[in-house]
A and B are shown apart, each in its own frame.
Chain A
C-alpha cells in the first residue's frame, strides 16, 4: 500500500508546478509582450487619468449621459469587486417592483417619451458590470441626452452610429454600443461644441 504514495505525491507536486505555476507564468509573459493593454484590463485614460475599462460597465444617472443596464451589485451599482446578477426569479414580486421603479426613473427623466421601453434598460445584467446597451436602449435615450446637452437628436444619433457594434456578418453577436465609450465621446463633442 505504501508504494502507491510515492507516485501520488511526486506526480501531484510535479503537476502543481507545471500547471499551477509554469503554465500561468508563461502565458502571462507572452500576454504581457503581445497584448499588454488587453492583458492589463483594457483601461482607458482621459488626459492621462484612467477613467475605466472598455470592458467593465459604469453606472450613470444624470440625464446628459446614456444610462447603463441596471446592476444588482452591492452596495452600489457596477461595483467592480462584487460581480453578479439579482438572481430574482421570473415570478418574484421583488423583480416586478424593481422593474417598475426603473421604469418610473426613466419616465421621470424623460417625461415626453412615450415609446415602450427596451427590456435591457429595466432588467439587471448577469455580471452587474455589463458595459453595453442594445442599440434600441441607446435610441430610447437619444432625445433625452440631446435635450440635456442642447444638441440635436441627429448629432447624438450620429455618435451612436459611430460607436455601434453591429453583429458580425449580420448574425454573429448582438447589436450593442459601449456606454462608457459613448459617454466619453459625448463629453468630447460637448466640450468642442461649447468652445
Chain B
C-alpha cells in the first residue's frame, strides 16, 4: 500500500476522532430535548400547527405507524413529481415525465435511503425533481434512520416505561438542527472547490479541437442500417461543442454524503468532476458520510450513562473499516495482470498512482478511490467515485462483503447503530449460551421475544439478497441485463440485490437495471429490506424500555472491553460468512482464480 493510502486513512481517522465527541454530545442533547428555551417555544408553535403535542411520547407501535405513514407519503410525492415533471416548472432541459416503473423504483430508492439509480441524472431529472423530490428524501430518510436509532437508545437507557419518544419531534429536530446546518456548511465548501450551484441551464462551449467519432448509420425512419453480413453500417460524425451540465449540485451533494444517501446529481456520481472536483472534496465527502454514524456511537454511550459502551461499538466498526480499506487498496493497487502482459505499466511511482485504473479518476488514484469505496459501502451511502464493475474481482468483493456484513462498519446514519446493537444482542446471547447465564445487555435481560426480533432484523436482508439473486439468475428478464460474461455477470446480479436490500445504492453499473424486471424486484427488495428491520428495531426498543434495569453484578458479562469487541466482530463475520460464502464463491472468488490462475 502506498504512502498516499496511509496519509489519507490517518487524516480521516484523526478528523473523525476529533468530531465524534462534540457531535455525539450535541445529538444526545437533541435526542433528550435539551434545547434552548427560545427554540423550544418556537418549535412548539410549529408542532402545534401540525397537531403534534411535542411533550407527548409514543409507544413503539405508534412510533412505527407514524414512521411508515410518513415514508409512504414520501414515496407518493417523489413518484408524483417524476410522473408530472412535464407539467411542472424548473425543468430547463425539458426532460418530461419519467416512466412509471422507473419512477416507482426511484421513489422507493430515495425514501429508503438507498438511492439506487436506474436512471441517469443529467438526462432524466430536472431541477425541481432533484431538489423538491430527491433532495428532500435525502434529508427525511436520513432523519428517519437517526430517529430509529434515538428510539432504540432510549429503549436501553430507560427503565419500566411504555414510550420510546415522539416520531414527529425526532424527525423534525434531526432535520432542522443536525442535518440542515451541517449540510449548509459542507455545501458552501463544495462550491468553493468547484461544485456547481446554479439555476442556469446547461452551458455549451466550443471545442478547440473537434472530435471525430463513428455512429451507426440510420435510414429515414431512424432504424439502423445493416450491410449484407448483418453488421451495422457506420458513418463518421464530428462533435465541435461540449455541453456542461449545470444545476444546484452542491446543496444536494452535501446532504447526499451527510445523510449516507449516495444518490448522485449526475450519472457518474462522485466520480463526476462536478460532484467531486479534487482531493480535498474527496476527503470531505468521505469524512462527511462517516461523520454521523461514527458520532452516534458516542450519543449512545452518553445516553445509556456509560460512554465505554459506545466506544466498544465504535472500535468494532473502525477495526472492520480499516481492514477492509487495506484489502481494497491492496487488490486494486495490484493492477490487472492481463494489462501487464500488454506492456502497460501499473506501477505506483512519483508520477502516477498505478494500479487498476479502469473506471477510476486520475485525481483520486487508487488510495482515494479505495477508501471512498470502503466508506460508501461500510455505510449505506453507496456513492461511488470509481466504477466498481471494473474493479479487480476481489476489489469488487470487498464492497459487496461490507454490505453483506449488514453495513455496520460503521453503517448508515442510524441504521448502522441499530444494526450494530442487534449484533450486540446476538453477541451477548451467544456469549450467554457459552457460559450458561441469562444473557443481558446494559442491565436488560434478553429474552426470546427480543431474540426473535433480532433474528428478523438480521436475517431479512440475507433472505432478500439470496432470493432476489436466485430469481434473477434463472429468469430471462434477469439475465438479459448482464453487461459482462461469466462469473462477473453473476457478481453484477448478486451486487444489485445486496445493494438494494441493505439500502446502499451502489452498483456494478454495467447491469442494465432500468428494466421492468429489475425496477420492480429491486424496488420491493429495497422497501422490505429497509422497513422490516426498522420495525424489528422499534419492537426491540419498546420491549427494552418496559424492562427493569438490573444492577451490575459479578456475573455480568462486561460489554465494553476488547473481549466484547472481538465477540461483536466475530458475530458479524459469522452471520455473513455462513450466509454469503457460497454465493461469493460463484462470483468474485471464481473470477479471481480464473484471472490469476490463467498463465
Task: Pick the residue among B133, B349, B363, B488 that contacts A20 (CB under 8 A).
Answer: B133
B residues 19-67 in Cβ contact with A at 8 Å: 46, 49-52, 65-66
Identify which of A41, A86, A176 contacts B196 (C-beta below 8 A). Answer: A41
Known pairs A50-B203, A126-B268; A91 contacts B488 (CB<8 A) = yes
Q: Closest Cβ of chain A: how far from B511's Cβ, in Å?
A: 8
Given A11-B168, A15-B139, are A173 and B278 neighbors across the interface (CB < 8 Å)? yes
User: A134 and B594 in contact (CB under 8 A), knowing A55-B273, A57-B273, A126-B271?
Assistant: no
Q: Quick check: is B354 within 8 A (CB to CB) of the other chain?
A: yes
State in angstroms the CA–CA spacing of A91 and B390 once bound together.
9
Find B202's partner among A16, A81, A184, A187 (CB 8 Å cutoff): A81
* Inter-subunit contact B211/A42 (CB<8 Å): no
Q: Check B244 for interface membership: any CB of A closer than 8 A.
A: yes
Q: Least Cβ distance of B184 to chain A in Å?
A: 7
Interface membership of B317, Cβ < 8 A: no
Contact with A along B298-337 (1 / 0, CB 8 A): 0000000000000000000000000000000000000110
A61-B212, A88-B484 are known contacts. Are A172 and B354 too (CB-CB below 8 A)?
no
Given contacts A85-B389, A100-B342, A123-B357, contact A132 B202 (CB under 8 A): no
Please state if B252 and A24 are interface contacts (CB–CB under 8 Å): yes
B residues 454-482 near A (Cβ < 8 Å) are: none
Give every chain B residue within 8 A of A153 (Cβ-Cβ). none
Q: CA of A11 to CA of B488 in the docked complex: distance in angstroms?
A: 45
Question: Which residue in chain B gives the minimum CB-CB distance to A129?
Answer: B273
Within the complex, the shortest CB–CB distance from A192 to chain B, in Å, comes to 16
A119 in complex: contacting residue of B180, B346, B384, CB < 8 Å: B346
In the bound complex, what is the Cα–Cα distance between A68 and B272 (angstroms)?
15
Shortest Cβ distance from B243 into A: residue: A80
Contact A4 B390 (CB under 8 A): no
Assess the A127–B361 pair: CB atoms within 8 A: yes
Residues of B within 8 A of A174 (CB): 4, 279, 352-353, 362-365, 367-368
Pick the contact of A65: B209, B212, B239, B336 (CB < 8 A). B209
Q: Chain A interface: which of B185-193, B440-448, B556-564? A: B185-193
A87 with B198: CB separation less than 8 A: no
| Residues of chain A with a CB closer than 8 A to B484's CB | 87-89, 91-92
Tell me which residues across on chain A come within 8 A of B66, comparing CB atoms.
4, 7-8
Check A87–B73 contact: CB distance below 8 A: no
A20 to B390, CA, bound (A): 35
Q: Which residues 80-128 of B have a CB within 8 angstroms of A?
A: 120, 122-123
Asked if B237 lies at the interface with its beta carbon under 8 angstroms from chain A, I say yes
Distance, CA A32 to CA B226, complexed state (A): 51
- Please give, as numbers and ranges, the residues of chain A lying within 8 Å of B176 by CB-CB distance: 18
Q: Which residue of A lies closest to B3 (CB)?
A: A171
Let me know if B187 and A27 touch, CB within 8 A. Answer: yes
Q: Say whether B208 faces chain A, with CB atoms less than 8 Å apart.
A: yes
B-chain residues with CB within 8 Å of residue A41 when the two chains form the complex: 196, 198, 203, 244, 246, 274
Chain B residues, Cβ within 8 Å of A103: 342-344
CA gap between A132 and B277 in the complex, in Å = 11
Whole-angstrom CA separation of A175 from B366 in the bound complex = 12
Cβ of B351 and Cβ of A139 under 8 Å apart? yes
A184 neighbours in B (Cβ, 8 Å): 208
Q: Mark A124-148, 1 if CB is under 8 A from B, else 0.
A: 1111111111111101000000000
Contact across chains for B339 and A8 when beta carbons are under 8 A apart: no
On whether the beta carbons of B196 and A91 are closer than 8 Å, the reply is no
* Proximity bits, A34-61, B CB within 8 Å = 1, else 0: 1100111111001001111111111111
A75 to B, closest residue via Cβ: B215
Which of A91, A122, A131 gathers most chain B CB within 10 Å? Answer: A91
Contact residues in A for B243 (Cβ distance below 8 Å): 79-81
Count B-side interface residues using an 8 Å CB cutoff.
134
Q: Which residue of A11, A31, A85 is within 8 Å of B70 (Cβ)?
A: A11
Contact A127-B390, Cβ < 8 Å, known A89-B484, A116-B345, A119-B352: no
Q: How far is the CB of B99 from chain A (nearest CB, A)?
A: 19
Q: Please name all residues of chain B whose beta carbon is closer than 8 Å to the beta carbon of A128 when the two chains form the complex.
A: 268
Contact partners of A35 in chain B: CB under 8 A: 191-192
A12 contact set on B, CB distance < 8 A: 70, 73-74, 77, 140
Please tell me if the beta carbons of A91 and B595 are within 8 angstroms of each other in the complex: yes
Q: Assuming the A-B contacts A35-B191, A87-B483, are A21 and B132 also in contact, with contact meaning beta carbons closer than 8 angstroms in the complex? A: yes
A93 to B354, CA, bound (A): 21
B541 contacts partner chain A, Cβ-Cβ < 8 Å? no
The 0/1 profile, CB within 8 Å of A marked 1, for residues 351-389 of chain B is 111111111111111011100000000000000111101
Instruction: With both chains docked as a complex, state the minimum distance between the C-beta of A58 and any C-beta of chain B, in angstroms.
Output: 6
Residues of chain B with a CB closer than 8 A to A125's CB: 271, 357, 359-362
Flag if A89 contacts B510 (CB, 8 Å): yes
Q: Give every chain A residue within 8 A of B179 (Cβ-Cβ).
A: 19
Which residue from chain A places its CB closest to the CB of B143 in the assembled complex? A15
Evaluate contact between A88 and B211: CB separation under 8 angstroms: no
The B219-245 residues at the A interface (CB cut-off 8 A) are: 237, 239, 242-245
| Residues from 163 to 188 in B contacting A, C-beta threshold 8 Å | 168, 171-172, 175-176, 179-180, 183-184, 187-188
Residues of A within 8 A of B148 (CB): none
Does B486 belong to the interface (CB within 8 Å)? yes
Is the CB of B197 closer than 8 A to any CB of chain A? yes
| B352 and A124 contacting across the interface, CB-CB below 8 Å | no
| Chain A contacts for B486, CB-based, 8 A | 91
The chain A residue sitting closest to B186, CB to CB, is: A27
Q: Please pick, from A14, A23, A28, A38, the residue contacting B180 in the complex, using a CB distance under 8 A.
A: A23
Contact (Cβ within 8 A) A76 B213: yes
Distance of A34 Cα from B188 Cα, bound (Å)? 9
User: 7 tightest CB-CB pairs across the interface, nearest first?
Assistant: A87-B510, A173-B279, A126-B271, A85-B387, A134-B352, A83-B268, A20-B132
Kindly list 12 other residue pairs between chains A and B, CB separation below 8 angstroms, not including A38-B193, A88-B484, A183-B208: A20-B135, A23-B251, A27-B248, A39-B198, A61-B212, A82-B267, A116-B345, A117-B344, A127-B266, A133-B362, A171-B3, A174-B279
30 A-B contact pairs sorted by A residue (CB < 8 Å): A7-B66, A8-B66, A8-B73, A11-B172, A12-B70, A19-B139, A19-B179, A19-B180, A24-B197, A28-B199, A38-B195, A51-B207, A78-B242, A84-B268, A88-B390, A89-B491, A100-B342, A116-B344, A119-B339, A125-B271, A125-B360, A126-B384, A129-B273, A136-B352, A137-B352, A139-B351, A167-B279, A172-B4, A173-B279, A176-B363
